[in-house]
A = this chain, B = another copy of it.
Amino acid sequence: MPEYPTSIGTSTPDSISLLGHDLASELLGQISFGELAYWLATKRRPTPGQLRMFEAVLVSLADHGFTPTAIAARLTYYSAPDSLQGAIAAGLLGGGSRFLGVTEDTGRYLHDAVATFGDTEAWTDADWDDAALVVLRKGKAAGAKVPGLGHPVHKQGDPRTPVMFALAEETGMKGPHLRLFEAIGRVHPEVLGRTLPLNGAGVAGAALADAGLPIDLLRGFALLARTAGLIGHLAEERETPIGPTVYAEVDRNARYTSPDVTGG
Contact = CB atoms under 8 A, between A and B. Distances in A.
A60 to B, nearest CB: 6
A80 B85 contact: yes
Given A83-B86, A223-B84, A227-B227, A68 B78 contact: yes
A221 B33 CA distance: 12
Contacts of A111: none
A25 to B, nearest CB: 7
Instruction: Categorize the interface residue count of chain A.
Output: 35 or more
A174 interface: no
A86 B95 CA distance: 9
A146 interface: no
A2 to B, nearest CB: 5
A205 to B, nearest CB: 14
Contacts of A258: 7, 20
Given A23-B159, A65-B254, A81-B97, A2 B32 contact: no
Given A13-B154, A25-B163, A66 B250 contact: yes
Given A33-B55, A37-B62, A214-B235, A43 B245 contact: no
A134 interface: no
Nearest to A256: B10
Given A71-B247, A86-B83, A86-B89, A257 B227 contact: no
Contact of A84 (B10, B220, B240): B220
A56 to B, nearest CB: 5
A225 B45 CA distance: 18
Contacts of A10: 65, 254, 256
Given A261-B43, A262-B44, A6 B256 contact: yes
Contacts of A261: 19-21, 43-45
